[in-house]
Amino acid sequence: MTKSAFQTLTWIEEKRALRLLDQRRLPNEELFFECRDLQQVAKAIKTLAVRGAPAIGVAAAYGVVIGVQEETVGKDPFTAQKFNKIIDKLAATRPTAVNLFWALARMKKVGEEGLRKGFAEAKLRDLLLLEANLIYAEDDQAHHRLGKYGEKLIPAEARILTHCNAGALACAEYGTALGVIRAAQAAGKKIKVYADETRPLLQGSRLTTWELLKEKIPVTLICDNMAAHCMAKGMIDLVIVGADRIAANGDTANKIGTYSVALAAKAHNLPFYVAAPTSTIDFSLAQGSAIPIEERDPDEVRFFGERATAPSEVEVYNPAFDITPAALISAIITEKGVFTPAELSAIH
């Protein structure tokens, strides 16, 4: 399988630690740090040191392993109550990305089974590590398959708009929206990417452009409010974005601003694709209005980096995500194939 030019997250067994690329520091500094306790993992997820729905899920899985390690070294016997506290702490970090809860549910099932069988702490920890490693491997494999399916939708020459970051930085290794783009380039297609800056935290300008330059994929950065203009000028052929949660009817939660891009694409008769693994589909929610939307620190909007750009006392509304209605989505690209929103029930 094709590897990315960097590792977003890596388990280091000899150190019993999770190594993360600190995405808060990009693009100015490529800094890695190691999480050795549960609080460090939870903080890394909450503060966006690691971000992107699939990557959050993988990081949380390893966070469970770290939490169990922490609780079983020189302490009282490990209990179901202690295990549930670990799960709950990680679940409380971010509310929208369903991959977090999907991964934690898998880890919880393995942990509860081990506790039920009376496994010693060391064996329980090793079983949980095996499951976390499996989640990592499945993530990578799913996104490679997703990329191959999605690549077939890309013309031989294509100018692609994307919003936020749905690449290797947001996953174990390969990427969803950018995985499709990487697969298209590998297939010999002549592609160019336009990346929205993605206010207020600039994941498009800080992360997507950094990642695409690393991969030697042509990319042009534009401000968020330029997307419709570029479409009207005939500069865009299609849009591909990732997702943090997809409801059963195909309504999709993604980074704030995605809905605006989808509306513009519809107005200009451009395909609008969502690329996400099936673990991002939440079949328990009938429609997007039921998806919880995270609201973040108002200072993310009052400041541009470290510079204040608004009065300190001004009221701020800062939702991290919006919902793109299924009617605006041309297709959803998954590791099981390409589906219209109406066809999602076939893979449930």
Structure token digits, residue 222: 């534009």
Structure token digits, residue 195: 């990346």
Q: How far apart are CA 276 and CA 178, in angstroms?
A: 11
Tell me the catalytic residues: 244
Q: How far apart are CA 294 and CA 298, in angstroms?
A: 12
Structure token digits, residue 288: 């997007």
pLDDT value, residue 118: 86
pLDDT value, residue 328: 98
Q: How far apart are CA 343 and CA 348, in angstroms?
A: 10
Length of the chain: 348
The predicted model scores a pTM of 0.93
Could you identify the residue written with the tokens 């690209």? 333
Q: How far apart are CA 168 and CA 34, in angstroms?
A: 19
pLDDT value, residue 226: 98
Domains and CATH numbers, the chain: 9-144 (1.20.120.420), 152-347 (3.40.50.10470)
pLDDT in tens, the chain (348 residues): 555 667 899 999 999 999 999 999 999 999 999 999 999 999 999 999 999 999 999 999 999 999 999 877 666 778 888 999 999 999 999 999 899 999 999 999 999 999 988 888 889 999 999 999 999 999 999 999 999 999 999 999 999 999 999 999 999 889 999 999 999 999 999 999 999 999 999 999 999 999 999 999 999 999 999 999 999 999 999 999 999 999 999 999 999 999 999 999 999 999 999 999 999 999 999 999 999 999 999 999 999 888 999 999 999 999 999 999 999 999 999 999 999 999 998 887
